[in-house]
Amino acid sequence: MEHEMVMRQMRTHLARAGREVQSARQFLETPTRRDTNLALARALANATASIDDAMDTIQQSLHERGGS
């Protein structure tokens, strides 16, 4: 049951990362906004954080299951 919860958390983190990356792509495709660089940097930072969270969740799951 706990493994299932961890996998759900991982999917949530990865889904959020995907949305953040998509936002970054949209900013790249429409560079007409004044604050595009700042918004792009924020979107990419958020995506990176979400991916890091997902990786931590995976690592925790592997550790708890006796993996490395």
Q: How many CA atoms lie less than 13 Å away from 25 in the CB half-sphere?
A: 6
**Looking at the predicted structure, is the pLDDT value of residue 67 above 60?**
no
14 contacts 49 by C-beta, under 8 angstroms:
no
Where do the structural domains in the chain lie, given as residue ranges? 2-64
**Looking at the predicted structure, is the pLDDT value of residue 53 above 60?**
yes
Cα 60 to Cα 67: distance, rounded to the nearest angstrom: 9
**Looking at the predicted structure, is the pLDDT value of residue 30 above 80?**
no
Average pLDDT of the chain, as a whole number: 79
| Helix 2-29, helix 36-64: angle, nearest 10 | 160
Higher pLDDT, 68 or 58: 58
